[in-house]
């Protein structure tokens, strides 16, 4: 069945350091993955996505890596800033009707 989970519930990083948030998924049929950021009191916000025919995709200060062999997804944030403090969710799309399954989330705390 579908199962998306995260390795670490809370991650604390020093401002300016790089952050790496990890995610494991179990549905090998998933072909589209998304990272969302959710700040306190707000809805999830799209950060970056990656399709299964890629293993790396870069955005502004963020990089997503996909390892289909071990069903692992990671989000790298360069030069982490206080504004990056939030809960980060990985999600996979494995349904023809765009049903996206979310992981439980990792809380990123940036230490000034």
Q: What are the residues binding other proteins (CB under 8 A)?
A: 31-32, 34, 36, 41-46, 49, 51, 89, 93, 95-105
Give the nearest distance from C-beta 97 to other proteins in angstroms.
4
Nearer to other proteins, 78 or 100 (CB): 100
Give the nearest distance from C-beta 111 to other proteins in angstroms.
21
From residue 84, give the alpha-carbon distance in Å to each of 7, 17, 25, 88: 19, 12, 24, 10
Residue appearing with tokens 């990792």: 106
Q: Report d(CA 19, CA 16) in Å as an integer.
A: 9
Nearer to other proteins, 16 or 95 (CB): 95
Give the nearest distance from C-beta 17 to other proteins in angstroms.
26
Specify the 3-state DSSP secondary structure of 58: strand
Nearer to other proteins, 67 or 104 (CB): 104
CA nearest 82: which of 11, 14, 22, 36? 14
Give the nearest distance from C-beta 98 to other proteins in angstroms.
6
């Amino acid at each position: 069945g579908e199962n998306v989970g995260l390795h670490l519930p809370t991650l604390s990083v020093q401002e300016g350091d790089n952050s790496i948030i990890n995610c494991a998924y179990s549905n090998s049929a998933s072909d589209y993955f998304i990272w969302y950021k959710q700040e306190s009191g707000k809805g999830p916000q799209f950060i970056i996505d990656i399709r299964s025919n890629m293993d790396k995709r870069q955005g502004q200060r963020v990089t997503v890596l996909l390892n289909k062999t071990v069903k692992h997804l990671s989000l790298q944030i360069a030069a982490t800033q206080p504004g990056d403090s939030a809960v980060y969710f990985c999600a996979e799309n494995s349904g023809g009707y765009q049903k996206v399954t979310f992981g439980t989330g990792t809380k990123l705390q940036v230490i000034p």
